[in-house]
Structure 1
Amino acid sequence: MVYVGMDHGTTGISFAIMDDEKVLDVFKISREDSKAGRVSAIEELSKRIDLEDIDLMIITYAMGDGISTILPMEKVENRGILSIGGAGKVTGGGTSVYSEIENANLPVLMIPGLHKDCDWLDPLFRAAYSHHASPEKVSIVYNAYLETQWENMVVADISSNSVDLLIEDGKIKGAIDACCGAMGIVHGPLDLEMIRDIDEGKRTANECFSHAGAVKIANVDNKVALMKDELLEMYSKGDERAVLAIDTMIMTVAMEIAGLIAVSKNEIDGIVLTGSMGSMKEPVDFEAGLNKYFKNKYETRIISSESGAIGAAQIARDIFNGKRDIMGIKVDY
Structure 2
Amino acid sequence: MVFIGMDHGTTGISFCLMSHDGEIIDIFKIDREDSKSGKVSAIEELSKRVDLDSVKLMAITYAMGDGFSKILPIDKVEDRGILSINGAGKVTGGGTSVFSELENSDIPTIMIPGLHKGSDSLDKLFNAAYSHQASPEKVSISYNAFKETGWKNYIVADISSNSVDILIEDSKIKGAIDACLGAMGIVHGPLDLEMLRDIDEGRRGANECFSHAGAIKIAGIDGKVANMKDQLLENYRNGDEKAKLAIDTLIMTVAMEIAGLDVVCENEIEGIVLTGSIGSATEPFNFEDEINKYFKGKYELKVISKESGAIGAAQIAQDVFNGADNILGIEVDFE
Q: What TM-score results when the alignment is normalised by the length of structure 1?
A: 0.99
Partner of 1:269: 270
CA distance in 2, matches of 1:202, 1:288: 39
CA distance in 2, matches of 1:158, 1:210: 15
Cα offset, 1:225, TM superposition: 1.5
SS in structure 1 opposite 2:283? Answer: coil
Partner of 2:12: 12
**Larger displacement relative to structure 2 (241-250 or 284-293):** 284-293
Cα offset, 1:5, TM superposition: 0.2
SS in structure 2 opposite 1:112? Answer: coil
Cα offset, 1:133, TM superposition: 0.1
Q: Which amino acid aligns with 1:154?
A: I
CA distance in 2, matches of 1:238, 1:298: 30
Stretches of 4+ aligned residues off by more than 4 angstroms: none
CA distance in 1, matches of 2:264, 2:115: 18
Q: Deviations over 1:209-230 (max 9, x none)?
A: 0000000000110101111100
1:70 matches 2:74: no
Partner of 1:3: 3
Partner of 1:222: 223
CA distance in 2, matches of 1:226, 1:283: 16
SS in structure 2 opposite 1:109? Answer: strand
1:283 matches 2:321: no
Partner of 2:329: 328
Partner of 2:39: 38
Q: Which amino acid aligns with 1:150?
A: W
Q: Deviations over 1:230-271 (max 9, x none)?
A: 000000001000000000000000000000001111100000
CA distance in 2, matches of 1:200, 1:314: 47
Q: Deviations over 1:266-305 (max 9, x none)?
A: 1000000000000001112111111010001100000000
CA distance in 2, matches of 1:136, 1:77: 19
1:292 matches 2:288: no
Q: Which amino acid aligns with 1:9?
A: G
Partner of 2:91: 90
Q: Which amino acid aligns with 1:283?
A: P
CA distance in 2, matches of 1:95, 1:169: 35
SS in structure 2 opposite 1:143? Answer: helix
SS in structure 1 opposite 2:25? Answer: strand
* 5+ residue gaps, structure 1: none
CA distance in 2, matches of 1:223, 1:90: 12
CA distance in 1, matches of 2:87, 2:265: 28
Q: Which amino acid aligns with 2:17?
A: I
Partner of 2:193: 192
Cα offset, 1:105, TM superposition: 2.0
1:230-241 maps to which residues of 2 (within 5 A)?
Answer: 230-241=231-242
Q: Which amino acid aligns with 1:169?
A: D
Partner of 2:182: 181
1:160 matches 2:171: no
Cα offset, 1:76, TM superposition: 0.5
Partner of 1:108: 109
CA distance in 2, matches of 1:220, 1:286: 21
Q: Which amino acid aligns with 2:272?
A: I
SS in structure 2 opposite 1:118? Answer: coil
CA distance in 1, matches of 2:43, 2:313: 17
CA distance in 1, matches of 2:104, 2:125: 40
Partner of 2:260: 259
CA distance in 1, matches of 2:285, 2:205: 32
* 5+ residue gaps, structure 2: none
Q: Deviations over 1:40-88 (max 9, x none)?
A: 1111000001111110000000000000000000011000000001100
1:148 matches 2:142: no
Cα offset, 1:20, TM superposition: 1.9
Partner of 1:129: 130
Partner of 1:243: 244
Cα offset, 1:152, TM superposition: 0.2
Cα offset, 1:322, TM superposition: 1.0
CA distance in 1, matches of 2:330, 2:118: 12
Q: Which amino acid aligns with 2:128?
A: A
CA distance in 2, matches of 1:35, 1:226: 18
Cα offset, 1:106, TM superposition: 1.3
Matched residue count: 333
CA distance in 2, matches of 1:182, 1:193: 17
RMSD: 0.5
CA distance in 2, matches of 1:201, 1:292: 41
Q: Which amino acid aligns with 2:15?
A: F
CA distance in 2, matches of 1:307, 1:24: 14
**Larger displacement relative to structure 2 (99-108 or 2-11):** 99-108
CA distance in 2, matches of 1:155, 1:182: 13
